[in-house]
Chain A
Amino acid sequence: DQQVKQNSPSLSVQEGRISILNCDYTNSMFDYFLWYKKYPAEGPTFLISISSIKDKNEDGRFTVFLNKSAKHLSLHIVPSQPGDSAVYFCAVRVPGGAGSYQLTFGKGTKLSVIP
């Protein structure tokens, strides 16, 4: 059973408009959430994160919102640019052994920003 769900496999947005990517998780004990962005033929790169003690974190054009009661996470990109076209992965952090931690990922949402 998936712990992290991204129900929209793809999203198309006009350049300059807002992109909203959604993510749902199952375990209310998760305490740290991340968004990664992946271009073809490259590994995922970290975009933005949020701790469970906050409900919003902003970094330039990117804002992540956390709704703990709904176990829902969203990423807003505004204004959207063609270079934002990529696959976006939602991830939750799960403590691992000996100081490491694991990330559990959603399946990703492919964002296409149309010029």
Chain B
Amino acid sequence: ETGVTQTPRHLVMGMTNKKSLKCEQHLGHNAMYWYKQSAKKPLELMFVYSLEERVENNSVPSRFSPECPNSSHLFLHLHTLQPEDSALYLCASSRGNEKLFFGSGTQLSVL
């Protein structure tokens, strides 16, 4: 148990659906992250929030929309995704320059 909880663990959605991934951290951290892991590719940073402000957006398509209502919660809203968006989506948190703690991820399949 890393203190970072992601729901759901698995998600199957059609290309016209709208869904949201949820992440919650119980560690008192002040930065939260979304990473994407596709098959045979490195983990790719998608978004960074620090003190509830988005500080990084690594050229992610607008069909992915993050939301950070407070320092403990992070969402990734999904709409009109493509099959190539199927991947493991990982949330992480950190306190300043300290190491990242990852959740278990949401395995997303887009049909």
Contacts and interface: CB of A to CB of B under 8 A. Distances in A.
Q: Which of B49, B50, B92 has the most CB of A within 10 A?
A: B50
A100 B56 contact: yes
Nearest to A90: B42
B40 A102 contact: no
Contacts, number: 78
B55 interface: yes
Given A98-B50, A99-B51, A100-B48, A45 B102 contact: yes
A43 B102 CA distance: 5
B109 to A, nearest CB: 14
A96 B48 contact: yes
Nearest to B95: A99
B45 interface: yes
A42 interface: yes
A105 B58 CA distance: 14
B102 A98 contact: no
Interface of B: 2, 4, 6, 9, 30-31, 33, 40-43, 45, 48-51, 53, 55-56, 90, 92, 94, 96-97, 99-105, 107
Interface of A: 2, 4, 34, 36, 41-46, 49, 89, 93, 96-108
